Structure 1
Amino acid sequence: MEIIGYVASACIGISLGLIGSGGSILTVPVLVYLFHVEPTLATAYSLFIVGSTALVGGIQSSLQHRVDLRTALVFSIPSFIAVFITRRFLVPYIPHELFSIGSLLVTKDIAIMVFFAFIMMVVAIGMIRSQRETPSSGQDMAYNYPLIVLEGFVVGILTGLVGAGGGFLIIPALVLLSHLPMKKAVGTSLLIIAAKSLIGFLGDIGSGQHIDFVFLISISIIAITGLFVGSFLSKFIHGHSLKTAFGWFVLVMGVYIVLRETVFLP
């Protein structure tokens, strides 16, 4: 299973390079189901792997002028605060056993995975159904600052809870609230994901969890290699096609995780 896990790790980077997101959607299941990392620790590992990979992608996108720094800054500040507080002060105090539904005992780990999947499915449906056209790069962009700040704070909390970089929430916000073209939203998303994921990981270092940095760096190097492959492939795919394909991908993964955690128990 570990060999499959390393192959899937490359797909984490390919996903980030291709659509600016999906890395964390793959990372948490890969760590939990293929490397057998317990879910709470997997969310911490995910922050490092996705954050370091997205950082490389964000720098690459900046050099290609595919990052809106103003939007990234407005979105990132409330997100930084929310993700650090959540990882440092909220997650460690969630009880291991939450409640029971019939014969199913809902633990902290199951709740994290199912909540993660639910958020994925809601966002995926919104991306699939949205037909709104984004303006061309030559048009003026209307920024809805209050909503961007609110979205940044909400994404920060969700990032802290489930260890997701949040690109599957950031990209819709950038497209719909900042009116960024899809491919520019991808580059901006990578920069935001990198910053808040790595800051969130700092909260885990201070929480006393044992961190296997050799494992983390190994997976991150593989994912970064995949990122360059994804970036190359993105040159040949239209932004609208990326948006639709991304939505379907997230939806399928969300349904799988719910079934895996609540029906097809190991």
Structure 2
Amino acid sequence: MEILGYLLAVVMGFTLGLLGGGGSILTVPILVYVLGVEPVLATAYSLFVVGSTAVIGGAQKHRQGLVRWKTGIVFAIPSLVAVLLTRLYLVPAIPETIFRLDGFSFTKDIAIMVFFGVVMLLASYSMIKDRKDTSEQKEKPFNFPLILAEGLIVGVITGLVGAGGGFLIVPALVLLVGLPIKEAVGTSLVIIAIKSLIGFLGDIGSGQDINWTFLLLFTACSFAGMFIGTYATRFVSADRLKKGFGWFVLAMGIFIILSETVFAV
């Protein structure tokens, strides 16, 4: 199973490199269901994998001139504060057993995975739906309250489930700021890198027992897949694959919710 987990890390990275986002949503399911990592620790590992991968992608977008640093920093500040506070205080504060019902215990681990399944459903919708052409739209004045609120929401979600949240950040940058889609994607990667790695530092500070050998090997596999996926974009239609991957994420989200609730009873 361990070899399968590393192979799936390559697949996850390949998807991320090919589609420019979305692949990291598979990190926690791979860690939990294939490699047997407990959910809270899996979300911590995911923060490192997602953040490290976003650094590579963000650097590539910066060289292409597709990162709006001012916008990214304004969005990132409330987001990283939220993710850090979530990892340091909210996650440890969740009781190990939330409630019991007819012999079924709804535990902290189950709650995190169910919430993760819901996030996957939202992410799948973002991947499946058709995007309008935003390349010619005009940039809008900063809507600071909405951007701050979106940053806080994304930060809490990232802190709870370890997902990058690009499926929330990119639409926010397009709709609230008026960025063209390519610049929104590039700026999103910078935001994801900052908040994910800061959140992971919060886990180190809270005393999480990190298996660095395992984590670095898993991350290296995802990097390898990402570079292969980036190369494959020259030959494959990313838009069609993104929709197909969105349907796969939808199915995975439903499976996670059912397996942690209905099938577990």
Provide TM-score, normalisation by structure 1: 0.89
Amino acid across the alignment from 2:78: P
> Deviations for 1:15-54, whole angstroms, at most 9, x for unmatched residues?
3223333243111001101110000111111111111111
Other-structure match for 1:260? 259
- 1:123: how far off? 4.3
User: Paired residue for 2:100?
Assistant: 100
Distance change (3 Å), C-alpha of 1:75 and 1:26: same
Q: How is 1:103-182 mapped onto 2 (pairs within 5 angstroms)?
A: 103-125=103-125, 128-129=128-129, 131-136=131-136, 139-142=137-140, 143-182=142-181
Contact 1:128/1:244 (<8 A) preserved: yes
1:258 Cα deviation (Å)? 1.0
Quote how far apart the aligned CAs of 1:85 are.
0.7
Aligned to 2:3: 3
Corresponding residue for residue 207 of structure 1 = 206
**Counterpart amino acid of residue 111 in structure 1:** A
CA contact (8 A) 1:141 1:179 kept: yes
Letter of the 1:26 counterpart: L
Alignment-derived partner of residue 61 in structure 2: 61
The DSSP-based 3-state class of the residue aligned with 2:155 is: helix
DSSP-derived class of the 1:177 partner: helix
Partner of 1:82: 82
- Give the deviation of 1:182 after TM superposition: 3.3
Greater shift, 85-94 or 240-249, is seen at: 240-249
Shift of 1:226: 1.4
Contact 1:92/1:207 (8 A) holds in 2: no
Partner of 2:183: 184
- How far did residue 165 of structure 1 move? 1.6
- Structure 1 position 130, deviation (Å): 5.7
Which ranges in structure 1 are unaligned for 5 or more consecutive residues?
A: none
- Aligned-residue offset at 1:69: 2.1
Measured against aligned partners, the alpha-carbon deviations of 1:212-244 in whole angstroms (never above 9, x if no partner) come to 111111111111111112223345566755664
Per the alignment, do residues 219 and 27 of structure 1 end up closer, same or farther by CA in structure 2, a change over 3 Å counting? same
RMSD: 2.3
- Is the partner of 2:105 in helix, strand or coil? strand
Aligned residue identity for 2:18: L
Distance 1:55 1:133 in 2: 27
Distance 2:242 2:24 in 1: 17
Shift in alpha-carbon separation, 1:183–1:249, aligned structure 2, 3 A:
farther
Output the CA distance in 2 between the equivalents of 1:94 and 1:58: 33
Residue identity matched to 2:30: V
Q: CA 1:220–1:131 in 2, change beyond 3 Å: closer, same or farther?
A: closer
Query: Structure 2: how far apart are the matches of 1:83 and 1:155?
Result: 8
What are the ranges of 5 or more consecutive residues in structure 2 without an aligned counterpart? none
Identity of aligned residues (%): 56
- Quote the residue 1:219 is aligned against: 218
Instruction: Give deviations 1:39-86, integer Å, cap 9, x for gaps.
Output: 011111111111111111111121122322232122111101110111
In 2, the alpha carbon distance for the partners of 1:65 and 1:241 equals 26
Residues in 1 aligned to 2:80 and 2:201: alpha-carbon distance in whole angstroms:
11
Q: Which residue identity does 2:171 align to in structure 1?
A: P
Quick one: structure 1 residues 246 and 169, their matched pair in 2 at CA, closer, same or farther if it must change by over 3 Å? farther
Deviation at 1:11, TM superposition (A): 2.1
Q: CA deviation at 1:6?
A: 0.7
Distance 1:152 1:20 in 2: 20
CA separation of 1:260 and 1:89: change in aligned 2, threshold 3 A? same
| Matched residues, number | 264
